[in-house]
Amino acid sequence: MTALTINLTSEQKSLLEGKAGPAAQKAIQILEALGKIYGAEHMLPVSSVQISGVSYDNLGEAGLEWLAEMAAGGGKTRVFTTLNPSGMDIENYQALGISEEFAVHQRRVLAAFEAMGVVTTCSCTPYLFGNLPRFGEHIAWAESSAVCYANSVLGARTNREGGPSALAAALTGVTPAYGFHLDENRQPTLHVIVEASLNENPDFGALGKAIGDRIQALLGNRVPLISGVEEASLENLKSFCASIATFGGVALFHIPSITPESAAHQPPAETLVINQSDIDLAKSDLMGASADEVDFVSLGCPHLSLREIQRIAQLLEGKRVKKEFWITTSRPVKGMADRMGYTEVIEASGAKFATDTCCVVAPIQGRFKAMATDSAKACYYAFAKNKFKTRLLPFDDVIKEALQ
């Protein structure tokens, strides 16, 4: 359905007329065009924004020029806005082998965002440091794993925005009312029955891949209602969200007892059963490398919680890693790790914090042969983008792999 017009408020009309400057005008034009494509009847105020397309490795010069133009056009955020990971650790990029030339470009990207009032904290887990919407709040987030987490675990409402539409929402404070902002599109459309035991992040990542692959290959877009998942930690859920979004393009699922609005829904008639052999097959697909081949180890896709960093410190205390080992997290969580003494322990082992960035968006294509990780999403992109073979292992085993 395509609406011919969108009902704009007088304030939104004044943005369209350019009364708040060219950047705000461009922003509302983008949102109006998007709303018309998807049949939105009006705009909705958003309480927070999370912007993707931050790494210069993905943006390139054309993307940077667009950001600089929006900043020069007087763009200013109207709501709390944070960023997805950038292409480098802003304070410690040299230790990660990132060139000075790349750093110059990456700093220009961040300067453009900063000029527009964006909080330049670069992370895919903004909900771990204060960009934490409440149940029912409308937001405009871009990172697929965070979008899935916000919709499915927090019960906030967001479509998966692109970089430009998220920035446009930040500069106007609104987003078109369509997709997952509306009740009718949040109904489950597929009942997934899980008959498998799920304990560690790779189990949840494999579940996301098993469901996601089936949705992509056989079914098309679906909102799954997932039965049979009794327990999941915050860390399991962020891993699952990253995986089901990567492999199935899923932005919203319902798990009874986890998804705040799931009680309002009955299981749909269309059913998919995922059993232990589906989980094992999904894992084996992501195990292309032998232990001997691994020359790179990375934890933190999505960005690590403080609890995960604490565990890394426990397992690395008094030991030396023998491989390049990146610990990826947000700067605020790293700050807590510093205060708790975890950073000192981890860095004494030779492992490196890769704060503000990750093993996928940093410019490291072809630099390593094979990567060990606990993240199904990281395995997918390590191979697809960076041409690394992969080993998907439980969290503690990833750390052991770094020590061998």
Smallest separation (angstroms) from ligand F3S to the CB of 305: 13
Nearer to ligand F3S, 196 or 358 (CB): 358
Binding segment toward ligand F3S, per CB under 6 A, in 94-102, 134-142, 299-307, 310-318:
299-307
- Please state, in angstroms and as integers, the Cα–Cα distance from residue 394 to each residue in 62, 376, 399, following that order: 39, 11, 9
Smallest separation (angstroms) from ligand F3S to the CB of 304: 9
Smallest separation (angstroms) from ligand F3S to the CB of 313: 20
331 scored as a contact of ligand F3S (CB under 6 A): no
Read off the tokens for 303: 């960005």
Binding segment toward ligand F3S, per CB under 6 A, in 73-81, 95-103, 167-175, 300-308:
300-308
124 scored as a contact of ligand F3S (CB under 6 A): yes
- When binding is defined by CB under 6 A, the residue of 56, 93, 381, 388 that contacts ligand F3S is 381
Strand pairing category for 389-392 and 370-373: parallel
Subset of residues 125 to 154 that bind ligand F3S, contact rule: CB under 6 A: 145
360 scored as a contact of ligand F3S (CB under 6 A): yes
* CA angle in degrees (0–180, nearest 5) for 279-280-281: 90
User: Rounded to an integer, what distance in angstroms lies between the CA atom of residue 90 and that of residue 40?
Assistant: 39
- When binding is defined by CB under 6 A, the residue of 157, 254, 331, 377 that contacts ligand F3S is 377
Chain centre distance of CA 135: 19
Maximum Cα–Cα distance across the chain: 66
Read off the tokens for 157: 């409402």
Nearer to ligand F3S, 294 or 299 (CB): 299
Smallest separation (angstroms) from ligand F3S to the CB of 5: 37
239 scored as a contact of ligand F3S (CB under 6 A): no
Nearer to ligand F3S, 28 or 251 (CB): 251
Smallest separation (angstroms) from ligand F3S to the CB of 355: 12
| Spatial contact of 357 and 85, defined as CB atoms under 8 Å apart | yes
Give the total of residues touching ligand F3S (CB under 6 A).
15
Subset of residues 240 to 279 that bind ligand F3S, contact rule: CB under 6 A: 242
- When binding is defined by CB under 6 A, the residue of 20, 336, 361, 392 that contacts ligand F3S is 361
Smallest separation (angstroms) from ligand F3S to the CB of 35: 27
Helices (H), 53-162: 56-72, 100-115, 144-149
- Bridge partners of 195, per DSSP, are 275
Kindly state the helix (H) or strand (E) to which residue 24 belongs, with its residue range: helix 22-37
Subset of residues 201 to 230 that bind ligand F3S, contact rule: CB under 6 A: none
Nearer to ligand F3S, 58 or 187 (CB): 58
- Among 133, 125, 243, 259, smallest CA distance to 186 is for 259
| Spatial contact of 315 and 401, defined as CB atoms under 8 Å apart | no
85 scored as a contact of ligand F3S (CB under 6 A): yes
Residue 232 one-letter amino acid: A
Binding segment toward ligand F3S, per CB under 6 A, in 177-185, 208-216, 314-322, 356-364:
356-364
- When binding is defined by CB under 6 A, the residue of 301, 304, 306, 372 that contacts ligand F3S is 301
User: Rounded to an integer, what distance in angstroms lies between the CA atom of residue 55 and that of residue 63?
Assistant: 10
Nearer to ligand F3S, 127 or 381 (CB): 381
| Spatial contact of 49 and 158, defined as CB atoms under 8 Å apart | no
- Among 143, 207, 205, smallest CA distance to 376 is for 205
302 scored as a contact of ligand F3S (CB under 6 A): yes
Q: Which residues, 6 or more positions from 82, have their beta carbon under 8 angstroms from its beta carbon?
A: 48, 49, 50, 51, 118, 119, 121, 122, 123, 126, 131
Q: Is 203 helix (H, G, I), strand (E, B) or coil?
A: helix
Nearer to ligand F3S, 25 or 236 (CB): 236
- Residues lying near ligand F3S in the complex (CB under 6 A) are found at 84-85, 124, 145, 242, 301-303, 328, 358, 360-361, 377-378, 381
